[in-house]
A and B are shown apart, each in its own frame.
Chain A
Amino acid sequence: MVDITKLRDIAKEVISRDDVRQVIGYRPGTYGFRARPAFVLEPADADELIFSPACINNLATYIVIEEKLPVPRGQEPDSRKVAVMVKGCDSRAIIQQLEEKAYDRDHVLVLGIPCEGVVDMDKVNARFPNVDKGDIALEGDKFVISFNGTKEEVAKDELLADKCKRCRYPTPLVSDEMLGDEVERFADDDFSDVEVLEKKSRDEKWAYWEEKFSRCARCYACRNACPMCYCEDCVLTRLEPMWMRRSVDISENTAYHIARAYHLAGRCIQCGACEQACPMDIPLMDLNRKFYKDVRELFDYEPGTDAEQPPLLSTFSVDDREDFIL
């Protein structure tokens, strides 16, 4: 459990430091059960901060998407640290970003939040539709949902986000300050979800994906929400060379999804931000998880767990599998 008072105190202390520019955390959302990102620029802002199972966003994305606007001549860019609150899964994004040299370790001040799981907002909304204002808390193995003066308890399993159901790293793997006590691993990943899809016949697979891919609006939200997608100029929307056309049809959409997923192979840290962002409910994690599984099984590699390990596809082992090669 994270002590909110402590969390705010630490945030206040941190933002008061000279070398810290902002603290990124969570604050209550504007409707329903939501929470949203908070940007603390001065100590008073910290009073809004919260942490609850509604804090689903991966704040590590903000470290890398900030625009680097031209610095006026004679001035130096603001090099103060960004402090960011991360759950276990989110912390892996930081590790992976460090592995990819997105920034130096001392650019960030990591505030670790040992996490017992967050909700799947879709499941919450399906269960409690059209609630304009409500709260979610985790108590033991139950989520306590309160709204309009009522309180309901739901078994944790029923509303828990899928990614949390297989979370092996609930306690952040990197942090400068830990905002709570270590949480013991409460789940493991057996990839049974991927296996279900793998077992489908060729035609079933394509039928499954055709439905999803053709629905994709190509809004690129999945890419933008991803903490690992921060290229200045993404090749998937580049005009020269044009890897795929911007036009929306099953062909270009499929190409987009193959390419996006491949670009995350060995890099995706399974935070689920892409899927959460997708307005068309495309099961992006099903794609990411196939690579994740193969990468682990074939190359014994787990992205976002060790900032020192070399990038997966920039290394090889002479013993890599090759039974498929003619």
Chain B
Amino acid sequence: MNGKPRIGVYVCHCGTNIAGTVDVEEVVRFAQTIPDVTVARNYSYMCSDPGQALIVDDIEKMGLNRVVVASCSPRMHELTFRKTLNGAGLNPYFLEMANIREQCSWVHEDSIAATEKSKRIIEAAVVKARRLEALDQKEVDVEPATLIIGAGIAGIQAALDIADAGFKVYLVEKSPTVGGHMAQLDKTFPTLDCSACILTPKMVDVANHPNIELMTYSKVEDISGYVGNFDIKVRKKTRYVDVSKCTGCGDCASACRQAGRFANEFDEGMGMRGAIYLPFPQAVPAKYTVDKESCLFLSKGKCGETPKCLEACQPKAINFELEDEIVDFKVGTIIVATGFDVFDATLKPEYAYGVYDNVVTALEFERMVNASGPTGGKVVMLERGKKKKKKKEGEEEEAPKVPESVTFIQCVGSRDKSVGNEYCSRVCCMYTAKLAHLVRDKAPDAEVTVFYMDVRAFGKGFEEFYDRVRREGVRYIRGNPSEIYRKNGKLIVRAEDTLTSTPLEHETDMVVLSVGLCPRTDTRDVIDLLKLSQSSDLFYLEAHPKLRPVDTASDGVYLAGVCQGPKDIPDAVAQAKGAASAAMIPMASGKVKVEAQTSIVDETTCRGCGFCVEVCPYTAIELVEINRMGWHVKAARVNEALCKGCGACAAACLSGSIQQRSFKDLQLLPQIQALGVK
């Protein structure tokens, strides 16, 4: 809108809410004296239909091009009056509100002071209105597809929900199988259902769902764009196995020259695998993978005369010529569900993890108690690193020793400033109780002791479960052990019982360290892809800790599961369902509104310093090369679809080149002047 500003000022009585304190007539008289004010009126309720009609009428008859409504807070009725302007054919951003109710008549009894203050507030609104500009309220279309990174229980659940709703899902998992940590667990607290029983059907669903494109053994390499329109590039690493041919029979694995020589990651290194392997029998997809590092043919170029696997594979699925595949696709929303790593217990050297065979982590112990795990579900003493004696044909294998006592230590790597983790991992108390119970179950003669700081049994059925375990004879000692050492073939846990303040030395056969949940070591990769922020605990930061716990600062990007912070399976699933429905909102509506009060750069004065780029929490600004009279110079450019209109960039820019629409220096400085003068 060009030409001289013609401003209408509308002072609302709000019944007696305003008029009872503020001399409305006097304020109107004053408003008429402000330069560029074409008309000033007052009315009992501006937000009522007749009140709004007054504005519409003046716009049409008097050619107003700016409107100031002096009434309640803009947080109350800004939208109402924007619509009014819009209805009258005026750009809705030509509205400025003067809050003379919440911040004037309601908080000051002195009528004279309140009237004076109202005048100042209105004057400031008028001088700003004079410089308001028309803004575009843009909308962008949303691609009805979601990318989910990570196929643990959280990623799986979200994928199923979204796919069931009819949207396309690309589920990208970096390991050869879906399932994440939950697949490693035996039973789950507090109900003790079997993890595999409830998880595997979902794993299978995910692989078969017509709306889900599952990409395991894959990595997201690039993400660009913004909500509604993300461009994704994924690298599908080759398995050297043609998955369309592999039947999952496993003949190759038994034939492999390297069979049983490498620690199986899935078993936390307690079980062994060959160069071609399936992480665990129920892995999804049930397709074998050649590990490049351990394969003789791939690493040394030669595996006997011909690789044995090639011979063994009937459908001829194995092919060492296969290469990584890059796929590109578009999605409208993204869910990050990359889970966690367990705490690296070697960072607490006092617990001698890695030194003594029978100091194990809880995750290793999960594998041990798991019926399909390396010990077939038996709780036994370990002899790690010791080469298994080749057993002669028919020779009875020496039965492994069952520990006479198992001791758990809680909070290993959690609530511990010395390792930089101040937070509580939220699952260790309960899984310790669960594992303690399982020991009672599987090795009933073993004595079970738990060292703890506090027991946090906050969830549904948790306290009851903890109570049950204690009643089963598990001994809880309050105190953080300070050292573990070996004496006479036994492990000695040195601690202090803090309830009785007595130092003690506890003798045991096996120590289980209840390691906490930590951010993934490769967190940075995802951060670089999506520019996510981290909270101080280094888990991904949600947009708001209470009210937007699944959203991130970037529109269209959501969090699910432990990647956002430690949680158990029910919470991970709940959040996954939340993230799924959040991701579906823009897809269901098909369009997203883009903030109108975004920032804009004056490329002729921008010095390309990038201060604004650094400040923007939404990475909405980038430096681009422009041609300034033949010179190739850098200048900032705002991606309006990403900008949320906070204005932080405008305050960071020294040359004043980037300005936030509706809050430009040019608009705020006069306001300051109007308020400052008197």
Touch between chains A and B, by CB atoms below 8 Å: yes
A310 to B652, CA, bound (A): 13
Per-residue CB contact flags for chain B residues 626-660 toward chain A (1 = under 8 Å, else 0) read: 00111111100000000000000000101110000
List the A side residues contacting B607 at CB < 8 Å.
100, 102, 230-232
Say yes or no: A313-B611 contact (C-beta < 8 A), given A231-B605, A231-B655, A240-B666.
yes
Q: 1/0 per residue B619-631: CB within 8 Å of A?
A: 0000100001111
What is the CA–CA distance of A108 and B532 in the complex, to the nearest angstrom?
Answer: 35
A77 CB → nearest B CB, Å: 5
User: Of residues 92 to 135 in A, which have CB atoms within 8 Å of B's CB atoms?
Assistant: 100-102
| CA of A262 to CA of B22, assembled, Å | 41
The CB with the most chain B CB atoms within 10 A, among A233, A240, A310, is that of: A233
Report the Cα distance A238→B652, complex, angstroms: 17
Instruction: Look across to chain B and name the residue whose beta carbon is closest to the beta carbon of A312.
Output: B611
Contact (Cβ within 8 A) B608 A101: yes
A269-326 at interface with B (beta carbon < 8 Å) = 310-311, 313-315, 318
A-B contact count (CB 8 A): 70
A263 in the interface (beta carbon within 8 A): yes
Of A71, A101, A233, A315, the contact of B623 (CB 8 Å cutoff): A101
Residues in B neighbouring A101, C-beta threshold 8 A:
608-610, 623, 634
User: A71 and B629: CB pair below 8 A?
Assistant: yes
User: Count the B residues whose beta carbon is within 8 Å of the partner chain — how many?
Assistant: 27
Inter-chain contact A71/B611, CB cutoff 8 Å: no
CB closest chain-A residue, reference B653? A235
* Bound: A71/B627 CA distance, A: 10
CB contact under 8 A between A77 and B654, given known A100-B609, A101-B608: no
Interface residues on A, range: 20 to 34
Contacts of B604 in A (CB 8 A): 232-233
Residue of B nearest to A315 (CB): B614
Q: Considering the chains assembled together, what is the distance between the CA atoms of A76 and B666 in angstroms? A: 36
* A313-B604 Cα distance, complex, nearest whole Å: 23
Tell me the interface secondary structure of chain A in the complex.
Answer: loop
Complex Cα–Cα for A166 and B631 (A): 40
B661 vs chain A, min Cβ distance (A) = 15
Q: Which residues of B contact A76 (CB under 8 A)?
A: 630
Partner of B630 from the list A77, A235, A238, A313 (CB cut-off 8 Å) is A77
B632 contacts which of A69, A77, A100 (Cβ < 8 Å)?
Answer: A77
Q: Is the CB of B609 within 8 A of A102?
A: yes
User: Which chain B residues in 651-678 approach chain A with CB under 8 Å?
Assistant: 652, 654-656, 664-666, 669
Residues of chain B within 8 A (CB-CB) of A313 are 611, 652
> How does the 8 Å CB contact mask read for B567-605 relative to A, with 1 for contact and 0 for none?
000000000000000000000000000000000000011
The A-contacting residues of B in range 516-536, CB under 8 angstroms, are 536
Instruction: Decide if A241 touches B666 in the complex (CB within 8 Å).
Output: yes
- What residues on A are CB-neighbors of B664 within 8 Å? 241
Please indicate the chain A residues that have their CB under 8 angstroms from the CB of B609 in the complex: 100-102, 311
A235 and B631 within 8 A (CB)? no
Q: How far is the CA of A230 from the CA of B609 in the complex (A)?
A: 11
With A100-B609, A233-B655, A235-B656 as known contacts, state yes or no: A314 contacts B631, CB within 8 Å: no
Q: Does A68 contact B (CB under 8 A)?
A: yes
Please give, as numbers and ranges, the residues of chain B lying within 8 Å of A140 by CB-CB distance: none
Residue A149 at the chain B interface, CB threshold 8 Å: no
Interface contact A70-B629, CB-CB below 8 Å:
yes
B615 within 8 A of A: yes
Contact B654 A231 (CB under 8 A): yes
- Bound complex: CA of A69 vs CA of B628, how far in Å? 9
Top 5 A-B pairs ranked by shortest CB distance? A71-B630, A314-B614, A70-B629, A231-B655, A100-B609
Can you name 6 A-B residue pairings with CB atoms under 8 Å? A71-B631, A101-B608, A241-B664, A241-B669, A313-B611, A315-B614
Using a CB–CB distance below 8 Å, which chain A residues touch chain B?
Answer: 68-73, 75-77, 100-102, 230-235, 238, 240-243, 263, 310-311, 313-315, 318
> Using a CB–CB distance below 8 Å, which chain B residues touch chain A?
536, 604-605, 607-612, 614-615, 623, 628-634, 652, 654-656, 664-666, 669
